Amino acid sequence: MLRLFVALPLPDGVIARLSIMCAGLPGAGWVAPGNMHLTLRFIGEVDESVAEEIDSLLAHIEVEPFSLELDGVGTFGEGTKARSVWAAVKPSVELTHLQAKVESAVVRAGLPPEGRKFTPHVTLAHLSRPHTARLEAFIAGNSLFQAGPFEIPQFTLFESRLGKGGAAYIPLVDYPLFVPGTN
Protein backbone atom coordinates (compact mmCIF):
# COMPACT_ATOMS: atom_id res chain seq x y z
CA MET A 1 0.00 0.00 0.00
CA LEU A 2 1.09 3.53 -0.80
CA ARG A 3 -0.05 6.67 1.09
CA LEU A 4 -0.34 9.35 -1.60
CA PHE A 5 -1.20 12.99 -2.15
CA VAL A 6 -0.97 15.46 -5.04
CA ALA A 7 0.65 18.83 -4.36
CA LEU A 8 2.48 21.83 -5.70
CA PRO A 9 6.12 21.94 -4.66
CA LEU A 10 7.24 25.41 -3.61
CA PRO A 11 10.30 27.30 -4.83
CA ASP A 12 13.28 27.29 -2.45
CA GLY A 13 13.06 31.06 -1.93
CA VAL A 14 9.42 30.82 -0.81
CA ILE A 15 10.24 27.93 1.53
CA ALA A 16 13.08 29.99 3.03
CA ARG A 17 10.71 32.93 3.64
CA LEU A 18 8.10 30.64 5.24
CA SER A 19 10.72 28.93 7.41
CA ILE A 20 11.71 32.25 8.98
CA MET A 21 8.21 32.51 10.49
CA CYS A 22 8.34 29.03 12.01
CA ALA A 23 9.33 29.79 15.59
CA GLY A 24 8.10 31.26 18.85
CA LEU A 25 4.77 29.50 19.22
CA PRO A 26 4.44 27.05 22.14
CA GLY A 27 2.61 23.84 21.23
CA ALA A 28 3.51 24.12 17.54
CA GLY A 29 4.94 21.17 15.65
CA TRP A 30 6.59 23.05 12.80
CA VAL A 31 6.58 21.54 9.33
CA ALA A 32 10.12 20.79 8.13
CA PRO A 33 11.09 23.07 5.23
CA GLY A 34 11.52 20.05 2.94
CA ASN A 35 7.91 19.05 3.62
CA MET A 36 6.31 22.42 2.79
CA HIS A 37 3.92 22.24 -0.15
CA LEU A 38 0.42 23.20 -1.29
CA THR A 39 -1.82 20.12 -1.28
CA LEU A 40 -4.18 19.76 -4.24
CA ARG A 41 -5.67 16.41 -3.13
CA PHE A 42 -4.92 14.02 -0.29
CA ILE A 43 -5.46 10.52 -1.63
CA GLY A 44 -4.57 8.28 1.30
CA GLU A 45 -3.64 4.60 1.17
CA VAL A 46 -4.08 2.82 -2.16
CA ASP A 47 -2.58 -0.30 -3.70
CA GLU A 48 -0.10 -0.22 -6.61
CA SER A 49 -2.72 -0.75 -9.32
CA VAL A 50 -4.81 2.22 -8.14
CA ALA A 51 -1.62 4.31 -7.83
CA GLU A 52 -0.76 3.43 -11.45
CA GLU A 53 -4.26 4.41 -12.61
CA ILE A 54 -4.03 7.73 -10.73
CA ASP A 55 -0.61 8.37 -12.31
CA SER A 56 -1.97 7.66 -15.78
CA LEU A 57 -4.93 10.00 -15.32
CA LEU A 58 -2.82 12.79 -13.78
CA ALA A 59 -0.40 12.56 -16.73
CA HIS A 60 -3.23 13.57 -19.09
CA ILE A 61 -4.09 16.81 -17.28
CA GLU A 62 -3.54 19.81 -19.53
CA VAL A 63 -3.16 23.12 -17.73
CA GLU A 64 -1.00 26.12 -18.59
CA PRO A 65 1.71 27.23 -16.15
CA PHE A 66 0.57 30.01 -13.82
CA SER A 67 1.73 32.16 -10.92
CA LEU A 68 0.70 32.11 -7.26
CA GLU A 69 1.11 34.48 -4.34
CA LEU A 70 1.01 33.82 -0.61
CA ASP A 71 -0.79 36.47 1.40
CA GLY A 72 -1.13 36.37 5.19
CA VAL A 73 -1.48 33.58 7.73
CA GLY A 74 -4.37 31.88 9.49
CA THR A 75 -5.50 28.84 11.44
CA PHE A 76 -7.85 25.94 11.07
CA GLY A 77 -9.87 26.05 14.27
CA GLU A 78 -9.90 28.93 16.73
CA GLY A 79 -8.40 29.67 20.13
CA THR A 80 -7.57 26.52 22.08
CA LYS A 81 -9.24 24.44 19.34
CA ALA A 82 -6.84 25.64 16.63
CA ARG A 83 -5.34 22.59 14.89
CA SER A 84 -2.88 24.16 12.48
CA VAL A 85 -1.27 27.39 11.31
CA TRP A 86 -0.97 28.07 7.60
CA ALA A 87 0.09 30.61 5.01
CA ALA A 88 -2.81 31.75 2.85
CA VAL A 89 -2.81 31.56 -0.94
CA LYS A 90 -4.22 34.54 -2.85
CA PRO A 91 -7.32 33.48 -4.82
CA SER A 92 -6.36 32.04 -8.21
CA VAL A 93 -8.69 30.88 -10.96
CA GLU A 94 -5.84 28.85 -12.46
CA LEU A 95 -5.15 27.05 -9.18
CA THR A 96 -8.85 26.25 -8.70
CA HIS A 97 -8.99 24.91 -12.27
CA LEU A 98 -5.94 22.67 -11.73
CA GLN A 99 -7.28 21.39 -8.42
CA ALA A 100 -10.64 20.52 -10.03
CA LYS A 101 -8.86 18.53 -12.76
CA VAL A 102 -6.78 16.66 -10.16
CA GLU A 103 -9.94 15.92 -8.13
CA SER A 104 -11.68 14.63 -11.26
CA ALA A 105 -8.73 12.35 -12.11
CA VAL A 106 -8.65 10.86 -8.59
CA VAL A 107 -12.42 10.22 -8.66
CA ARG A 108 -12.16 8.62 -12.13
CA ALA A 109 -9.54 6.28 -10.64
CA GLY A 110 -12.29 4.99 -8.32
CA LEU A 111 -11.75 6.99 -5.12
CA PRO A 112 -14.58 8.87 -3.40
CA PRO A 113 -14.77 12.63 -3.91
CA GLU A 114 -13.10 14.87 -1.34
CA GLY A 115 -15.73 15.87 1.19
CA ARG A 116 -14.15 19.19 2.16
CA LYS A 117 -14.07 22.42 0.19
CA PHE A 118 -10.65 23.17 -1.32
CA THR A 119 -8.94 25.81 0.82
CA PRO A 120 -5.52 26.45 -0.70
CA HIS A 121 -2.84 26.94 1.95
CA VAL A 122 0.65 25.95 3.00
CA THR A 123 0.67 24.29 6.42
CA LEU A 124 3.34 25.77 8.69
CA ALA A 125 2.58 23.97 11.97
CA HIS A 126 0.29 21.48 13.63
CA LEU A 127 -0.90 22.65 17.03
CA SER A 128 -1.34 20.86 20.32
CA ARG A 129 -3.17 22.83 23.00
CA PRO A 130 -2.09 26.26 21.76
CA HIS A 131 -1.78 29.20 24.12
CA THR A 132 -4.49 31.51 22.74
CA ALA A 133 -2.77 34.84 23.43
CA ARG A 134 0.52 33.63 21.88
CA LEU A 135 -1.33 32.23 18.86
CA GLU A 136 -3.20 35.50 18.37
CA ALA A 137 0.08 37.43 18.66
CA PHE A 138 1.72 35.11 16.11
CA ILE A 139 -1.13 35.57 13.62
CA ALA A 140 -1.18 39.37 14.14
CA GLY A 141 2.61 39.59 13.86
CA ASN A 142 2.65 37.70 10.56
CA SER A 143 -0.60 38.99 9.05
CA LEU A 144 1.24 41.09 6.47
CA PHE A 145 3.34 38.15 5.20
CA GLN A 146 3.50 38.00 1.42
CA ALA A 147 5.53 35.91 -1.02
CA GLY A 148 5.41 35.89 -4.78
CA PRO A 149 4.29 35.94 -7.37
CA PHE A 150 6.12 32.71 -8.14
CA GLU A 151 5.73 30.38 -11.11
CA ILE A 152 4.00 27.02 -10.91
CA PRO A 153 5.54 24.91 -13.69
CA GLN A 154 4.34 21.49 -12.45
CA PHE A 155 2.41 19.48 -9.91
CA THR A 156 3.63 16.33 -8.19
CA LEU A 157 2.37 12.98 -6.93
CA PHE A 158 3.95 12.39 -3.51
CA GLU A 159 4.18 9.38 -1.25
CA SER A 160 3.91 10.05 2.48
CA ARG A 161 5.94 7.59 4.54
CA LEU A 162 5.17 7.74 8.23
CA GLY A 163 8.10 7.18 10.58
CA LYS A 164 9.33 7.81 14.11
CA GLY A 165 10.49 11.32 13.20
CA GLY A 166 7.23 12.21 11.44
CA ALA A 167 6.25 11.91 7.81
CA ALA A 168 8.72 11.96 4.93
CA TYR A 169 7.28 13.20 1.64
CA ILE A 170 8.82 11.52 -1.39
CA PRO A 171 8.10 12.97 -4.84
CA LEU A 172 7.13 10.08 -7.14
CA VAL A 173 6.12 11.77 -10.41
CA ASP A 174 6.27 15.38 -11.62
CA TYR A 175 3.62 16.47 -14.13
CA PRO A 176 4.75 19.53 -16.10
CA LEU A 177 2.17 22.19 -16.90
CA PHE A 178 2.11 23.24 -20.53
CA VAL A 179 0.09 25.16 -23.06
CA PRO A 180 -2.48 22.64 -24.42
CA GLY A 181 -1.74 21.65 -28.00
CA THR A 182 2.02 22.28 -27.69
CA ASN A 183 3.04 18.99 -26.12
Report d(CA 63, CA 71) in Å as an integer.
23
Residue 131 catalytic?
Answer: no
Q: Which of 97, 121, 126, 131 is catalytic?
A: 121
CB 135 within 8 A of CB 127: yes
CB 17 within 8 A of CB 71: no
Using the CB atoms, write b or e for 86-114: b if 16+ within 10 Å: bbbbeebeebeebbebbbebbeebebeeb
Active site positions, annotated: 37, 121
